[in-house]
Amino acid sequence: MDKLIVRGGNRLVGTVKTSGAKNAVLPIIAASVLGETPSHLDEIPKLEDVRTICGVLRYLGVKIDDSREHELTLDTTRISAYEAPYELVRTMRASFVVLGPLLARMGHARISQPGGCAIGSRPIDLHLKGFEALGAKISQDHGFVEAYAPNGLKGADIYLDFPSVGATENIMMAACLAEGTTTLENPAEEPEIVDLANYLNQMGARIRGAGTDVIRIEGVKHMHGAEHIAIPDRIEAGTYMIAAAMTHGDVIIENVLAEHQKPLLAKLREAGVLIEEDIDRIHVACPGELKGVNVKTLPYPGFPTDMQAQFMAMMTISQGRSTVMETVFENRFMHVVELNRMGANIATTGARGAIIEGPAKLTGCEVNASDLRAGAAMILAGLVAEGTTTIGNLHHIDRGYEDIVGKLKGLGADIQRISVKD
Ligand SMILES: CC(=O)N[C@H]1[C@@H](OP(=O)(O)OP(=O)(O)OC[C@H]2O[C@@H](n3ccc(=O)[nH]c3=O)[C@H](O)[C@@H]2O)O[C@H](CO)[C@@H](O)[C@@H]1O
Ligand SMILES: C=C(OP(=O)(O)O)C(=O)O
C-alpha cells in the first residue's frame, strides 16, 4: 500500500503543465467503438481510469497500441463481444459510457450495472430512458444492464430531467448511428461534451449544438476512425491554481483554456487571488490574504462539483466565513471530517450545505482520500499544514491526477510517495 507524505509550509513557484482531460478522454475512448476503422488519440493522460477503459475495450476485441506516451491507437475494425463484465466496470463507473456506442454498433450490449460510490448513489435512469426512447429494449438482472436493438435505433426527441454528463454522452453516441434525427433537450453543456461531439463529427457523425441546451444528431449509416487531440483537464488545472493560492505562491499553469475555467476564476478572484489569463496559460499569484466566499456547485457553466473539495480546503484557511452548497451530488462532503481532523472548522448543514469558519491553523496528521477530489483536497491541506500529513487510499487520486507528486515537486512542494507494508 502506498501513502503520500506531505510536509507543509513551502510556497509554490514555477510552471506546471496540465494533462489531457480525464472526463473527455474516457467517453472519447469509448466512442472509438463506433468507427469501423482505427482512431488515433493524442493528449491522453497516464491515469488508472484510462487503463481501465482500455481494459474494457480490449475485452470487446479492440486492439490498442499504447506504446507512445500520451497517445493511443485504437483498432476498432472488429468488435468481437458485446459485454463488459463486473471486474472491469466496478473500479470505474465511467465504463458505463461504453453502452451507447456498443449498442449502436452491435445492436446489443450487456454492461455490468455500475454501483454507487462515495459521493452519491449515482443512478443510470436517464441513460436508460434515453436508450428506450431510441427504441432499445432494456432489461436489468443479475447486476447487468442489457440493451437490445436488433433492427437498429431510431431517432427521437429526448428531454433530460437533469443535464447529466454521462447520460448526454451515452445517448449522443448511441444516436449517431440511429435512423433519423435525435433532439436532446436539456443536455449537459460541459466542455467535455463538446470535445466528444467534435471527435464524433470527425468520425462522420452529424451533431450540432453540443455545448448549448439543445443537441441535434442526424443519424448516419457508418462511422470511421479519426484523429483527435483531447482538451486540457480543467479540474486538474484548477487544483494547481488552488495550490498556488493556498501557499501564497506564484504559478503559471500551462495547457489550460481560461474559457473553461470561468466559474472557478471568478471565485478565486473574489477570494483575493490574482489571476492573469492568456490564450493557453493562466498565471496565479496570491501575495495577500485569502477571503471567505460562498460557492454553489451547478452543472456547467456553474461552479464544478469536481472542484468543491479542493475549494473547501482553501476556504479553511481563508479569512472569515465561507459557505458551500453542493447541488449536483447528494453526498459529496466526505472530506469535511478529514479536513476537520486537520484543524479546520467546518460544520455541515444537512447533506448539501457546509459553513466554513476561517482562518484555521491546519496541522498535519494521518488522513484518507475517500474519493478522487477529496484526496486532492487532502494534498492541498497538507501543503499548508504545520508538520507532516500522511495520506492513504491513493488509488482514488491515481484515477485522476497524472504524476501529481512530480508536478507539485516541480513547483517546490515537499511531497513524496512511499510504500508501506499492510
Ligand atoms: C467520468 C465523468 O465525466 N465524470 C463526471 C460526470 O459524472 P457523471 O456523468 O456520473 O455525472 P452526472 O452529470 O450524470 O450526474 C449528476 C447528477 O445526476 C444524477 N443522475 C445522473 C444520471 C442518471 O441517469 N440519473 C441521475 O439521477 C447523479 O446521481 C448526480 O446527482 O459528471 C459529474 C458532474 O459534473 C462529475 O462530477 C464527474 O467527474
Ligand atoms: C467524480 C469524478 O469522476 P467519476 O465520475 O469518474 O467518479 C471526478 O472526476 O471528480
**For residue 306, which atom of ligand 2 is closest to its CA?**
10
Residues having CB closer than 6 A to ligand 1 are 23, 26, 94, 120, 122-127, 162, 164-167, 188, 305-306, 328-329
Which residue's C-alpha cell is 484515477? 399
Give me the sign of the Cα torsion angle 27, 302, 285, 397: negative
Q: What is the DSSP string of 90-144?
A: TT-GGGGGGHHHHHHHHSEEEEEPP--BTTB----HHHHHHHHHTT-EEEEETTE
177 labelled ligand-binding: no
- Final residue of a domain: which of 198, 229, 260? 229
β-pair type (250-254, 13-17): parallel
Q: Identity (one letter) of the amino acid at 264? A: L
> What is the ipTM, given to two decimal places?
0.99
Tell me, yes or no, whether 120 and 42 share the same domain: yes
Q: Is 117 a catalytic residue?
A: yes
Q: Is the full-model pTM beyond 0.90?
A: yes
Number of domains in the chain: 2
Tell me, yes or no, whether 198 and 53 share the same domain: yes
CB 389 within 8 A of CB 370: no
pLDDT of residue 116: 66
Distance of CA 135 to the CA centre of its chain: 30
Tell me, yes or no, whether 172 and 239 share the same domain: no
To test the pocket of ligand 2, the residue of 47, 399, 401 to mutate (highest count of ligand atoms within 8 Å of its CB) is: 399
**From CA 111, how far away is CA 89, in angstroms rounded?**
8
- Final residue of a domain: which of 196, 229, 262? 229
Give the distance (Å) from ligand 2 centre to CA of residue 94. Answer: 8
Q: Which of 117, 176, 286, 365 is catalytic?
A: 117
Give the distance (Å) from ligand 1 centre to CA of residue 188. Answer: 10
The answer, yes or no, to whether any atom of ligand 2 lies below 6 A from the CB of 373, is yes
Over residues 312-348, the pLDDT tens digits come to: 999 999 999 999 999 999 989 999 999 999 999 999 9
The answer, yes or no, to whether any atom of ligand 2 lies below 6 A from the CB of 372, is yes
Distance of CA 356 to the CA centre of its chain: 25
**For residue 120, which atom of ligand 1 is closest to its CA?**
29
**For residue 49, which atom of ligand 1 is closest to its CA?**
1
Tell me, yes or no, whether 178 and 325 share the same domain: no
Tell me, yes or no, whether 343 and 251 share the same domain: yes
The backbone region for 372, taken as left when phi is positive above 0, alpha when psi lies in -120 to 50, beta otherwise, is alpha
pLDDT of residue 351: 85
**For residue 22, which atom of ligand 1 is closest to its CA?**
1
- Residue 281's domain is classified under what CATH number? 3.65.10.10
| Residue 324: partners with Cβ closer than 8 Å, 6 or more residues away | 294, 295, 296, 297, 308, 311, 312, 315, 353, 354, 356
Ligand nearest to the CA of 127: 1
Tell me, yes or no, whether 59 and 168 share the same domain: yes
Which residue is closest in CA terms to ligand 1's atom 6? 165
Give the distance (Å) from ligand 2 centre to CA of residue 145. Answer: 21
Tell me, yes or no, whether 299 and 360 share the same domain: yes
Tell me, yes or no, whether 167 and 125 share the same domain: yes
Ligand nearest to the CA of 27: 1
Give the distance (Å) from ligand 1 centre to CA of residue 271. Answer: 28
CB 317 within 8 A of CB 362: yes
Residues shown for the chain? 422
Tell me, yes or no, whether 254 and 273 share the same domain: yes
**From CA 13, how far away is CA 26, in angstroms rounded?**
31
**From CA 384, how far away is CA 120, in angstroms rounded?**
29
Regions of the chain with pLDDT less than 70: 116
The answer, yes or no, to whether any atom of ligand 2 lies below 6 A from the CB of 408, is no
pLDDT of residue 114: 84
For residue 175, the enclosing domain spans: 22-229
CB 326 within 8 A of CB 320: no
The answer, yes or no, to whether any atom of ligand 2 lies below 6 A from the CB of 307, is no
Tell me, yes or no, whether 219 and 296 share the same domain: no
Over residues 405-420, the pLDDT tens digits come to: 999 999 999 999 999 8
Closest by Cα among 101, 350, 84, 403 to 236: 403
Tell me, yes or no, whether 11 and 142 share the same domain: no
Q: What is the DSSP string of 5-52?
A: EEE--PPPEEEEE--B-HHHHHHHHHHGGG-SS-EEEES----HHHHH
Over residues 27-38, the pLDDT tens digits come to: 999 999 999 999
pLDDT of residue 210: 98
- Final residue of a domain: which of 229, 260, 289? 229
**From CA 96, how far away is CA 94, in angstroms rounded?**
5
Tell me, yes or no, whether 193 and 247 share the same domain: no
198 labelled ligand-binding: no
Tell me the sheet residues that pair with 216.
183, 208
